Structure 1
């Protein structure tokens, strides 16, 4: 069974299948990459909870930065947020994001109930 949560015409915020939750990409508010990353991760955490999961159950994260020069600033926030011993498989790359003010987008897949 496939469970789609908060489904719209273009996408679902969460899709659950066979014990895995796939979250749509999350962006955050703020002027700096650190502020946007913190907000983004708060949104990820809320979606994980809604999916019946937690940051400890993350399987994979894909992070897009508008500028790889922000890598260290983003990582400082990420490293403080990820539960010790529960780091997911992760990739990070540079991409043009949907709006010019966006600096980071995070996509997470996690085990769920």
Structure 2
């Protein structure tokens, strides 16, 4: 039987689930108090980076990312942050869709799947 580990778990969800050296992160958002998609994207990606580190991974090991934008008019602005954040040569498979996000002040959310680093 393959082990499944969970970190930062509540009754509703785990922020990190690891299985077969794959890391699954729950949806991450930026700070709702930040008014622009650029600022929310920056804080969101900082959270992703911290969770990946906690799970034994990093942004060079991201396999797949799904980005949810409240409004596709923010696509270019969000990508201006994303493109600087992803290391050159390590772009994951990615989808970006327009979606209603749980809180009305949130402009962007991301779901990430990554491989663990081989130590």
- Give, in angstroms, the shift of residue 56 of structure 1: 0.2
CA distance in 2, matches of 1:27, 1:54: 18
Q: Structure 1 regions of 5+ residues with no counterpart? A: none
RMSD: 0.6
User: Could you tell me which residue of structure 2 aligns to residue 5 of structure 1?
Assistant: 7
Within-5 A mapping of 1:28-47: 28-29=30-31, 30-47=34-51
- State TM-score, norm by structure 2: 0.94
- Give, in angstroms, the shift of residue 8 of structure 1: 0.7
User: Could you tell me which residue of structure 2 aligns to residue 96 of structure 1?
Assistant: 100
User: Could you tell me which residue of structure 2 aligns to residue 57 of structure 1?
Assistant: 61
Q: Deviations over 1:51-99 (max 9, x none)?
A: 0001000000000000000000000000000000000000000000001
Within-5 A mapping of 1:10-21: 10-21=12-23
Equivalent residue of 1:35, what SS? Answer: helix
Count of equivalent residues: 113
After the TM superposition, list the runs of 4 or more consecutive aligned residues in structure 1 that deviate by more than 2 angstroms: none
- State TM-score, norm by structure 1: 0.99
CA distance in 1, matches of 2:102, 2:116: 28
Q: Structure 2 regions of 5+ residues with no counterpart? A: none
